[in-house]
Structure 1
Amino acid sequence: MAECPVVQIACGNIEGRSCLRAKPKRSKQVFRYAGIPYAKPPTRELRFERPQRCSSWNGVLAAVEMPPCPMQNADAGKATDHLLTTVNQFDEPFSKLDEDCLHVTVYTTNPSKTANMPVLYWIFGGGFQTGGASGYDAQALCGLHDVVVVVPNYRVNIFGFFTMGRETAYPGNMGLWDQVMALQWTRDNIREFGGDPENVTIFGESAGAVSVGLHLFSPVSRGLFHRAMQHSGAANLQYIVRKEYTGALKAYLKALHITATNQTDIIAHLKRLPAQEIIEKTKSLGPKLDIFAVVVDGDFVIEHPSKLLQQGHTTPVPSIIGCNSTEGACLLRTTRPKIFFSSSTEKAWFEKAKVFMLDNMQYKLEKVDQALETVKSIYEKDFSDNDPLKWERMASAFVSDPLFLVPSISQALLHSGNGHPTYFYFMKHRMKCYYDDDFSMEMKKRDEFCECDHSDDIYFTFGVPLMQGNKSRECRFSEDEENLSVIWMKYIANFALTGDPNMGEKVDHEWPKYEPHGRLHLSVDVPIKEDDHLIEERYKMWKKTLPALEM
């Protein structure tokens, strides 16, 4: 294992560590620089404030251990531990939490100013409530391709999105401003790690994909990135961005026993509380969805993204957008059961679908029964009466479509229609470790109706089937899955280099551009193939038929 070079950046010198090499023989040595501060600790008086640039340090910073994850409800992460596996090549404490969390981790094969490699800037998911940089290991993505990968932490939940209102001193979205500062840090320092600051691709999954969409719409982020990839998330989803969080504010103040009414007194009290006490006393609010998340602040988010998209206010960069085939069938049923519901009978489907339409899609009570009859008539065309899992499949698709596929397709159509290169994918691969004990005895087995679940694409984006190192849950991958990972990472690296997933390293199957007239997309499975007009009739129903009923 080669010795990791010391890197000098604006704030001081940094010592990293050498990673294990990925399995393929052609894999290069990857160096990891973990936990580099990009902002001052957002604690005490800096809690709920926008990030401030960090100070310089003397000597050599030992950037050898993964930084703690942002403060969050640790129990929420434990709820999905049995559903996922992550590579932990140095046996580090990935579950460690700290309010002092504003760090970046950089992976590179050549920390030289002259390397000029494209940069991939990953934004983690977690519904803006949980998550962190730990677990996103780039030993394969960097080792097999000449790219530099940057993974920042950003604040989540109340610590990252607390707001008292748009016109107050606390308009919210600190977590998004963290992402901006980490992008600025990348622009100013990435050349020292071998990266090209003029070729930065932002990409992310779930809330990370929503974040990418928000950066595409925000004037604040212009010039800090040059391409964008969104995995299972779109910012133009109506309910994901709100105009205010008055209900959440009241719920948090009540849970924390804060009776002050003056904003100055409220903030002073909140800043004095230990971070863990805030987490412990507000745990019950998460399942009720009394939470802080993205808000229209008039600065970073100037208007709801759905309106900005319609008006064409998007950064003109090449874009990849996509979803998985059964986003709401497993993982999200565990973390958000009120939204991603289960139903084994027609009666259960109607009852739970009605609640979903009223609570999450804001349909009028007097219109919802008529809307559901329309939904049922359209969806039954795609699900056979002879299928014993028909109503489970319909429940998964019914929720996944409006929350993932429909907004993603809408964004792709308008981005492409505005003349920007756009590529769409639909991942369908069923991973063997979730169904076959020969591939894993530790991974919880999925129901048959779950095909490619929320977050499955991350395994292939980072090349987990090709990685060396301990896994949080033991599993192995098939030869087909290893090959699919090679193919998928090749598309990503090509896109990062050129803005076209087909240009760069040779690909076996050309990924067609997504355009309004043909709507061609890449169907990602074994084998990969081209397809078109994804969920076309269901898309028309959500975009035209159902809105017309509301008029």
Structure 2
Amino acid sequence: MSIRILSLFAAIALAGATLLAPPSVASAPHDPGVVRVDTGWVRGQVAEDHVAFTSIPYAAPPVDERRWRAPSPPDRWSGVRKATSPSPLCPQPGDGEVIGTEDCLYLDVTVPRGSRPGTRLPVVVWLYGGGFTNGGTRAYGAARLATEGQVIVVAPNYRLGALGFLSSPALDSTGGNYGLSDQQAALRWVQRNASRFGGDPHNVTLAGQSAGARAVCAQLASPRARQLFDRAILQSGACDTELPGRTQAERWAAQATSDLGCASAADVAGCLRGLPAAELVGALRGVGFEKVTARVKDRPWGPVAGTSVLPRQPGDAVLEGTAASVPLLIGGTRDEMRSFVAGYTPDLTEDGYEAALTDAFGDRADEVLAEYPVSGYASPPLALATVLGDWGGSIGTCPALRTADGASAHQPVYAYEFTEATDTPYNGVPLGSFHGLDLPYLWDLSLDQNPYPDLTREQEQLSATMIDYWAAFARTGDPNGPGRPHWPEYAPGSTVVELSTTGIAPTPSAGDHHCDFWAGLPR
């Protein structure tokens, strides 16, 4: 994803800090908006059908000597902490400026009204997307998912960019992945505190979209996340998408250290820890995002395989059966790459299409062109978006289906394709069922620049059905239940469930997206 596209589709504005509130602890247990977590009392915002607790610290601020270290436990507090302000964003690019603060390791908890200790509702832990450089929990209002699904939703912030994923031997021997360690600290917080909100710490679903889904893949493959969650949901992200390895990540770290002026310092780690966060947000900015054909493994900031936190590539771990064998729900949108192609190359010509294929596939480009002739599409941008969305070097269908194929040998898998489309074009390119269009069907989104149209009455019904499916899966590991079409368990080569207002039914996703063809090409 380009920074410009991320700004359009994921950037969120910074708001104020959490404050302390003075109500007496003695009266707190009788107030539905007050809960005692392991570090103190918190007061949330009580609504008619839910209670939202925001900006609860799950780790100490990762600042000064804690920068680029595994998260430390948060401090305790006295009195009742006001948990009603938006969780602060971690440092990230904004609209022409750096926004966020390093003191960002907070999480939000949304519970249905009436949930209390002993209720034992399923817990959904949500990891946001944004290319591991943008995003935050504050964009995702969880009231509908929590109340209609009768689940507790926990959404943690995690460190991004160089602050979350710099893999430098000058800092430590772990290989980075501080953002993944943050997510694991949040999962441990859930284990300690879910029951205090009426949740079941033994029934936790780890879910995410886009980069958040790839983070879920990393946690599936991480030995340090074992026993921290019981099911997994991957939306528009695949474990089969290759991550950069440690050697490449350390090369990027060396380049960033040099660019930041710390390579020749007597104390490299001290030099890096002394830099303003804004300088670090700009480190290697744009690397791996220069062109729409770039792959995940071309990008410096994100999970790194071959490290103590993530020893194996997630795709290998899933295929071998060494990943966590938990029930898996996986899928994506039909036209994942249209918005990106529209942002990068809306005026692509036929010659430009062929050049893009050559850039991406080298001497195999003619084979791709034969499989996807430009004459078969309304325009060269739509042809390229189809190629990239099927191939999935960045985001796409076939890596998700390969993930489902590999996982199905070891655990229950339920696969879907979201095909509901929008007629709204971007830069003249029809967006169709673009990346992220499924989000407003599960979340009440709060974005500075919102590309999502309001839902129609029929789409609101699809939203309700999807929430039922997601919540049932979180509850039992099976999305099925009364009042909605049957969702069969996935098997290699079988159909997946299509989700749209025109019907919920099996669809031959692998055939539609030429996955047999892509199986024979380099990834």
Normalised by the length of structure 2, the TM-score is 0.85
Matched, 1:374 2:367: yes
Match of 2:391 in 1: 402
**Is residue 248 of structure 2 the alignment partner of residue 228 of structure 1?**
no
SS at match of 2:432: coil
Counterpart for residue 111 of structure 2: 108
Contact 1:252–1:282 (CA under 8 A) maintained in structure 2: yes
Give the Cα–Cα distance (whole angstroms) in 2 for the partners of residues 470 and 239 of structure 1.
28
- 1:460 is matched with which residue? 441
1:80-99 mapped onto 2 (5 Å cutoff): 97-99=100-102
Q: Is the 8 A contact 1:122 1:202 kept in 2?
A: yes
Structure 1 residue 342 displacement after superposition? 4.9
Letter in 2 for 1:324: T
Gaps of 5+ in 1: 22-28, 79-94, 358-367, 436-444
Cα distance between partner residues in 2 of 1:427 and 1:40: 39
Deviation string for 1:418-464 (max 9, x for gaps)? 3x1111111111136x36xxxxxxxxx56454211111111112266
Within 5 Å, give how 1:14-33 maps onto structure 2.
14-19=42-47, 29-33=49-53
| Mapped partners of 2:325, 2:474: distance in 1 | 15
Q: Secondary structure at the match of 1:509?
A: coil
Report how far residue 60 of structure 1 moved: 0.7
Q: Distance in 2 between matches of 1:191 and 1:456?
A: 33
1:495: which partner in 2?
A: 473
2:71 to 38, 44, 51: 51
One-letter identity of the residue aligned with 2:327: P
- Counterpart of 2:223 in structure 1 is 219
**Alpha-carbon shift at residue 325 of structure 1 (Å):** 0.9
The correspondence for 1:298, drawn from 288, 304, 307, is 307
Contact 2:496 2:507 in 1 (8 A): yes
Cα displacement (A) at 1:231: 0.2
- 1:394: how far off? 1.7
Q: Distance in 2 between matches of 1:283 and 1:298?
A: 23
Which residues of 2 match residues 120-135 of structure 1 at below 5 A?
120-135=124-139
Q: What CA distance in whole angstroms lies between the structure 2 residues aligned with 1:324 and 1:241?
A: 28
Residues 163, 281 of structure 2: 8 Å contact kept: no
- Give the C-alpha shift of residue 413 in structure 1: 0.6
Task: Supply the distance in 2 between the matched residues of 1:375 and 1:283 (Cα, whole angstroms).
Answer: 31
Q: Give the match's secondary structure for 1:224.
A: coil
2:378 paired residue among 376, 383, 388: 388
C-alpha displacement at 1:353, in angstroms?
1.7
Q: 1:384 to 1:259 in 2, by over 3 A?
A: closer
Give the drift of 1:297: 4.2
- Where do 1:290-369 residues align within 5 Å? 291-331=300-340, 334=343, 337=344, 341-342=345-346, 344-357=348-361, 368-369=362-363
The residue matched to 1:118 in structure 2 has which SS? strand
- CA distance in 2 between counterparts of 1:222 and 1:283 reads 33
Q: SS of the residue aligned with 1:50?
A: coil
Counterpart in the other structure of 2:194? 190
CA distance in 2, matches of 1:279, 1:9: 32
Choose from 64, 74, 85 the match for 2:84.
64
Matches of 2:230 and 2:333, distance apart in 1: 25
Distance across 1 between alignment mates of 2:53 and 2:334: 35
Q: Name 1:268's counterpart in structure 2.
A: 270
Measured against aligned partners, the alpha-carbon deviations of 1:492-550 in whole angstroms (never above 9, x if no partner) come to 111111111113xx232111211125x12111111233234323372122212x25xx9
Residue 242 of structure 1: CA displacement? 5.5
User: Residue 480 in 1 paired to residue 458 in 2?
Assistant: yes
Contact 2:382 2:429 in 1 (8 A): no
Residues 256, 282 of structure 1: 8 Å contact kept: no
Q: Say whether 1:425 aligns with 2:416.
A: yes
Contact 2:422 2:431 in 1 (8 A): no
The amino acid that maps onto 2:154 is V
Measured in 1, the distance between the counterparts of 2:170 and 2:341 equals 31
Unmatched tracts of structure 2, length 5 or more: 1-29, 291-297
What is the CA distance between 1:490 and its match in structure 2? 0.8
Indicate the residue corresponding to 2:27 in structure 1. none
Structure 1 residue 145: Cα displacement: 2.3
Point out the more displaced range, 147-156 or 50-59.
Answer: 50-59
- 1:513–1:520 contact (8 Å) kept in structure 2: no
Specify the alignment match of 1:6 in structure 2. Answer: 34
Give CA deviations for 1:275-305 in whole Å, capped at 9, x if unaligned.
1233356546574566332212432211222
Distance 1:99 1:120, change over 3 A: same
Change (3 A) 1:290 1:424: closer
Whether the 8 Å CA contact 1:201–1:229 is kept in 2: the answer is yes
Do the aligned residues in 1 keep the contact of 2:62 with 2:69 (CA within 8 Å)?
yes
- Matched AA of 1:216: L
TM normalised by structure 1 equals 0.81
Comparing 38-47 and 494-503, the one that deviates more:
494-503
1:413 aligns with 2:391: no
Contact 2:191 2:228 in 1 (8 A): yes
Q: How many residues of Structure 1 are paired with residues of Structure 2 in the alignment?
A: 481
Tell me if structure 2 keeps the 8 A contact 1:424–1:514.
yes
Contact 1:50 1:174 in 2 (8 A): yes
Superimposed CA distance per residue, residues 290-344 of structure 1 (whole angstroms, 9 cap, x where no aligned partner): 633221243221122232233221211111110111111115754xx4xxx5564
